[in-house]
Structure 1
Amino acid sequence: MLKKIFFLLLFILLFTACSNEDASKDETEDKDPSSDTPSEPADPFGVYEETITIAIGQEVDPSDTSLQDGDTPLDNQYTRHVKENLNIEVEHAFTASPSNYDQKVSLAIASNDLPDAMVVGPVELRQLVEADQIADLTDVYENYASPAIKEIIDSSGGVALENVTFDGKIMAIPNSQASADGVHNLWIRQDWLDELGLEPPKTLDDLKKVAKAFVEEDPDGNGQDDTIGLAGPDTSNKLYANFLESTNNLYGFDGIFSALHAYPGYWLEGEDGELVYGSTLPETKEALSFLRDMYSEGLIDPEIGVREDSGESVISGNTGMFFGPFWMPYGPLTDAVTNNPDANWQSYALPLDANGEYTPHLSTTTTQFVVVRKDYEHPEAAMKILNNLLANESEFDPSIGGPGFYPLRLVYAPADEMEVTTVALREVLAGTKEPEDFYDMPAYKLLKSDVDHIHEIKLEPYDNMDIEYWDPQANLGQWTRAYSALVGTAPLVDTEINGVKSVIYSQTKTMEDRWVNLKKIEDETFLKIIMGTESLDAFDQFVEDWNNQGGEQITEEVADVVAK
């Protein structure tokens, strides 16, 4: 009897030991892949013990010549920082220009040959989810997103995570950006206005008069007929932002449309409460008629739609006005001022509508997403790269490499980041606040650097923002940032904005098959109307075709989405 009890106890001890070994094995396999020991929590900034590689798809703008000598899109201050801080080696699976990037992404999806990670838009994200090609990042986000990124994403009111959640799973890392990105100011050569004795154009009629003077009265004084009144979109940009790409449209006609209460590309609530697509409304036809007249009179760049880079005419000093977001100093204006220190570009919340109100369209705060290839060994690496950018962005100098060269770059900013920055800089310049008053605001990632350096580049009088009262060469990178705040964002701080939002910023089911074609018809028809190769009546045919080729069904789906 004792022998039986002995063997029974021995069996229990052996079974318990094996069970404990299996549990320990499972625990080890589930640990943070960059941790030193199984007991360490996931570290959003943890350095890998051994170098890992991540092959990414990256947009590379060939017109961005900011890289310092010896640097390349794959070897620069940003990629070196990622290697030094995280021990991640970045490789390029593919690169593409801004005008070709979406096509490269589409080809990668169609061939199921994805890079380890890449930035995509909402259309591509849905395609990737439905094709089951990307990794579930729920645990990656929960365990590795830095507190600062989570704070910013939470500030979107749930929109950011909602846009990447499918069947309860977080399938991408969303951005969340400043609301100022969605407003397209009117940028004007103030020195040209002063030369001709003109005021900034408050109305659309004023805009035509200023553009006419810029074209006909030799504002640059070179005696040549070589000036452009108002720039237009190049091959990389659009006539106007739309509900799927609601931010950062360069050189489009957004301000002209909105001054006429036309919001093409946006989904709106009509007067009867029914949902309508803004591109099909009479207000849009009226705006196209206005633009058609401007173009026929030679007041708009004659090369709209075919020019490869409208920024070149800004840099060369040939253009007098264009529409763009607050951050245009990060675009062509830095080069424009470097080439001509007297180029006094100023920004205005203009033109106004018939009631004297500023009525721009507004964006969603979430427009881009980082996705990770399914089965990539280190999905958390993409999240760490983004954490690293937000935490260290103030260390980078955009004058020796624009921020677009940062791998997998997403914009992270509280919705009011630029407005807060503008007010803070004004207070420091006025002496009512000290730089130290703004140090403990980590979500406003560049604010400490902004207030610390403002006196280095801004000359007295501190309340005059004309270019002659700046010293860009003292710190060109810092000037780019400060000019974006004190000139680019200032109109948004000082103007009452009666903005209009789209009721949705995402796709419906039918859009997946029909939207590319519908958008192509829209873009081609509107551009032809403006350039005079189609009559204004082509708008009515467009509306009919749009409804018949899926638009009517899509409108019903949008209504269902909003109702839910």
Structure 2
Amino acid sequence: MPKNKACNDEFIQRVGREGSRLLKGNVLILLCVFLIFFAAGCSGPNPAEEDSPPENQPKSASINIVISSLGMTFPAGMDENDNPYLNYIEERTGLEIGVNLPPPEVYNEKLDVIMSSGNLPDMLHTYEPVWFDNYVKQKAFMPLDELIDKYGPHLREKIPPEVWDRVRYDGKIYAVPSLNEVTGAELMYARKDWLDRLGLKPPETLEEYYEVIRAFTLDDPDGNGLQDTIGLTLTSKLGRSSPFFGAFGTQRNMWFERDGQLVNGNILPETKETLAFFAKLYQENLLDREFPLNLQNNLFEKIENGTVGLFSAAWYDTRGPIAANMNKDPEAEWIPLPYPTGPSGFKGVEGKDIIRGYNVIPASSENAAEVIKMLDFIASDYKTLKLGFENEIWKWEDGEIVTDFTLHDKHLYRGIYQSLVDVPDELLFKERLDSLGDFNLYNNLQMINHHIIPNAFYGVPTPAMTKYNNKLKNLEDVFTKIIMGLEPLDAFDDYVKTWKEEGGDEITKEVNEWYAKP
């Protein structure tokens, strides 16, 4: 190590985080001259830094990537191409990275537009296995085995073999997968102060849930003398509804074994029963009338403002809208509820696939090696990109992680880059969640983990899925219409018939061929 490397590194890192994009051309030359003089006043090397990755490597190539913003925003003066965390990745890899963030609301559509444009980036990230499968079969992507073997040691080490098998076609790897950190997302939460005010116990059965929803709507649970509360809310396309489908032993768009064969949950009689339950709530004005239009922001606003007292929360909502409501209303108290148990004793929540997303490299890319180097670095530096810069956003105190919440929240956008290759570290998992405050995050996930309803099909998308998926997805609009009373409940039977005729039977045949293989 050069004698004054420790001091130089400290200075370079500070400069890099605040304005790495200035270190170009003549400015870089002048800065290097300055560093020579600066080094003269610094002390000797720091042995602790001997094994640290090199910083501010000379830029070796420029790559362009298309990724999702995940709904994140950037602090003033920063954007997706200029912020401390992207600059950090660039410094450590020696790459110049151009980032394109299509709007999340039309992300999948934009990926299709890009793929047909003829002007392809060096990497795209998708969350849709059917989209990935479709373009792999069109030979639109590059096989990655040799590149991963040469430039991706951390990818090989941290991504399990069975996950690599999920992205192989004809024996070749066509994507670097990102893993799901959690096995599921939703669990029920309710206002305990409302339950106490109305003399109600936390509900367990679906019948008890109905009574609490009714009381939260009609019995003035907030005590303001007005009928202005909502018993239950959902989001558009039946978001935040998984525990209720679980009460009937089903989930949408998942596969279940019935009499030795796999059947899609969308066409099971139990799904019709779930829709009937929601339709009853809606007819009695116990379900949010605006749910078909609710986006996540609408849901959060209603919870924060004290309009809603019971809903299916994401595991992290205790740190989001629930915490915001308690800050706004000191009397508000929220508690997790048991999952609703249905008439046949079922309960549970949708399980998430182990693969969260797919990083693919178009066959025309001339910078594939650099893309793999970038992804490998992200996999190697999980702690920094997941938690933020040590001793800035977080630090160790008495063996525990202590987080600066203000800075943590300000720089949440780092997840845009980190999640490209999420390779969860179990050793840090609980410590990280506990460091975020007393929001029950780890316990929320434990409750979810104990009530997962797994998907019986976990193979690569079948040819019929690729062919019919979008058409069948559009048919699901009838679910909302049934709940709102715009269609009778028996319209579900027509949906099942159409689903089968419009490709569902073909998909089911292929899924069961997969299921029958040893």
Tell me the residue number matched to 2:212.
Answer: 210
What is the identity percentage for the equivalent residue pairs of Structure 1 and Structure 2?
Answer: 28
Give me the whole-angstrom Cα distance separating, in 2, the residues matched to 1:325 and 1:112: 39
Q: Does 1:283 align with 2:276?
A: no
User: Is 1:53 matched up with 2:62?
Assistant: yes
Q: Is the 8 A contact 1:349 1:358 kept in 2?
A: no
1:527 match: 480
The two structures, once aligned, show a CA RMSD in angstroms of 2.9
Question: What amino acid is aligned across from residue 209 of structure 1 in structure 2?
Answer: E
One-letter amino acid matched to 2:489: L
Structure 1 residue 277: Cα displacement: 1.5
Aligned to 2:442: 485
Indicate if the aligned counterparts of 1:141 and 1:383 stay in contact, CA closer than 8 A: no
Provide the C-alpha distance between the structure 2 equivalents of 1:503 and 1:116, rounded to a whole number of angstroms. Answer: 31
**Is 1:44–1:387's contact at 8 Å kept on the other side of the alignment?**
no
User: Aligned AA for 1:547?
Assistant: K
Q: Which runs of 5+ in 1 are unaligned?
A: 1-42, 240-250, 415-441, 454-477
Residues 140 and 383 of structure 1 are in contact (CA less than 8 Å); yes or no, is this contact kept in structure 2?
no
Residues 59 and 94, structure 2, Cα contact 8 Å, conserved in 1: yes
In structure 2, give the amino acid aligned to 1:395. G
- State the Cα distance separating 1:109 from its structure 2 match: 2.0
Q: Are 1:73 and 1:405, in contact at CA under 8 Å, matched by a contact in 2? A: no
Letter in 2 for 1:213: A
5+ long unaligned stretches in structure 2: 1-50, 394-407
1:260 aligned onto 2:248: yes
Change (3 A) 1:322 1:90: farther
Count residues with an aligned counterpart.
Answer: 442
Q: Tell me the equivalent position of 1:363.
A: 352
Counterpart residue number, 2:7: none
**Contact 1:382–1:408 (CA under 8 A) maintained in structure 2:** no
Question: CA–CA distance in 2 between the matches of 1:519 and 1:44?
Answer: 49
Q: What's the TM-score, normalizing by structure 1?
A: 0.71
* Residues 23-38 of structure 1: pairs in structure 2 closer than 5 A: none
Shift of 1:117: 1.9
Once the two structures are superposed, the pairs formed by residues 91-170 of structure 1 within 5 Å of their partners are 91-97=98-104, 99-120=105-126, 121-145=128-152, 147=154, 150-154=156-160, 158-170=161-173
**In 1, Cα distance between equivalents of 2:504 and 2:246:** 22
Retained in 2: the 8 A contact 1:165–1:171?
Answer: yes
Match of 1:293 in 2: 280
Q: Does 1:75 align with 2:78?
A: no
Which one is further off, 335-344 or 219-228?
Answer: 335-344
SS at match of 2:463: coil
| Residues 114-513 of structure 1 mapped to structure 2, 5 A cutoff | 114-120=120-126, 121-145=128-152, 147=154, 150-154=156-160, 158-180=161-183, 182-234=184-236, 238-239=237-238, 251-270=239-258, 272-309=259-296, 310-329=299-318, 331-340=320-329, 342-354=331-343, 358-374=347-363, 375-377=365-367, 378-387=370-379, 389-392=381-384, 393-395=386-388, 397=393, 398-403=408-413, 405-407=415-417, 409-410=419-420, 412-413=422-423, 443-449=426-432, 453=435, 478-479=436-437, 483-486=440-443, 488-492=444-448, 497=451, 499-504=453-458, 506-513=460-467
Q: SS of the residue aligned with 1:479?
A: coil
Q: How far off its partner does 1:257 sit? A: 0.8
Cα separation, partners in 2 of 1:143 and 1:343, compared to 1, 3 Å: farther
Q: Secondary structure at the match of 1:317?
A: coil
Contact 1:229–1:321 (Cα < 8 Å) also in 2: yes
Matches of 1:169 and 1:141, distance apart in 2? 11
Structure 1 residues 94 and 336: alpha-carbon distance in aligned structure 2, compared to 1, 3 A threshold = same
Instruction: Give the AA of the match of 1:313.
Output: K
Tell me which residue corresponds to 1:33.
Answer: none
Stretch of structure 1 that moved more, 103-112 or 354-363: 354-363
Moved more, 349-358 or 371-380: 349-358
Letter in 2 for 1:501: N
Change in CA separation of 1:71 and 1:335 when aligned onto 2, cut-off 3 Å: farther
In structure 2, the CA distance between the partners of 1:315 and 1:381, relative to structure 1 (3 Å rule), is farther
Structure 1 CA distance, aligned partners of 2:85 and 2:324? 21
1:499/1:130 CA distance change after superposition, 3 Å: closer
Query: How far has the Cα of 1:339 moved from its partner?
Result: 4.0
Q: Is the counterpart of residue 544 in structure 1 residue 497 in structure 2?
A: yes
Q: Is the 8 A contact 1:152 1:443 kept in 2?
A: no
C-alpha distance 446-285 of structure 1, shift in aligned 2 (>3 A) = closer
Change (3 A) 1:357 1:372: same
> 2:84 & 2:309 partners in 1: Cα distance?
34
- Contact kept in structure 2, 1:292 and 1:531, CA below 8 Å: yes
Q: Deviations over 1:460-503 (max 9, x none)?
A: xxxxxxxxxxxxxxxxxx228x53113x224247xx53734332
Q: Secondary structure at the match of 1:53?
A: strand
TM superposition score normalised by structure 2:
0.77
Whole-Å separation in 1 of the counterparts to 2:79 and 2:415: 9
Q: CA deviation at 1:563?
A: 1.7
Please tell me the residue identity of whatever aligns with 1:543: V
What do the CA deviations read for 1:61-111 (whole angstroms, capped 9, x no partner)?
55x56x4444334433432332343344432334212x2111111222233
Aligned residues of 2:217 and 2:231 also touching (Cα < 8 A): yes
Take 2:452 and 2:429, find their aligned partners in 1: how far apart are those partners?
Answer: 28
For the Cα contact (< 8 Å) 1:144–1:383, is it kept in 2?
A: no
Conserved? CA contact 1:82–1:89, under 8 Å: no
Q: AA paired with 1:174?
A: P
Equivalent in the alignment of 2:47: none
Change (3 A) 1:74 1:351: farther
Following the alignment from structure 1 to structure 2, what is the Cα–Cα distance between the partners of residues 490 and 125? 31
Q: Relative to structure 1, is the Cα distance of residues 140 and 191 closer, same or farther in structure 2, using a 3 angstrom cutoff?
A: farther
Deviation, structure 1 residue 44: 12
- Taking the aligned partners of 2:366 and 2:323, their CA distance within structure 1 comes to 39
Give the distance between the partners of 2:516 and 2:98, measured in 1 at CA: 45
Give the equivalent residue in structure 1 for 2:21.
none
SS class of match (2:360): strand
The 3 A distance-change label for structure 1 pair 552 and 73 is: same
**C-alpha contact 2:186 2:448 (8 A) present in aligned 1:** no
